[in-house]
Amino acid sequence: MTEQNREYILELFKIVGTTSILVVDRKGILKRIYCPFKVIAIKDLPPIRKGAVYKVDAVKMTIDLMEVYIIDGKGFYVWLFKIL
């Protein structure tokens, strides 16, 4: 399974890379957002503080196919944040 995940990640990042994400806006339009972009924390998980704004420098994926934002050189799961 790990090798399949690794291959999937390599293929995925040929499309989106680590410097942008694809999002669907409220009108249903697909848009690309480039790093750095700002997010607000929706949960506390030290050192992340709920309500604080952070700058996302890159977007990566764990081998378990979980997306993470790279903030200040560290990876944090995307579900901790909302894009501003």
Enter the pTM of the model: 0.82
Q: What is the pLDDT of residues 66-84, one digit of tens each?
A: 999 999 999 999 999 999 9
Structural domain spans, the chain: 2-83
Q: Do 23 and 72 form a contact (C-beta atoms < 8 A)?
A: no
As a whole number of angstroms, the distance between CA 62 and CA 49 comes to 22
Q: What is the pLDDT of residues 7-48, one digit of tens each?
A: 888 887 777 788 988 899 899 999 999 999 999 999 999 999
DSSP 8-state class, residue 80: G
- Phi then psi dihedrals of residue 33, to 5 deg: -110, 130
Question: Which amino acid appears at position 54 of this protein?
Answer: Y
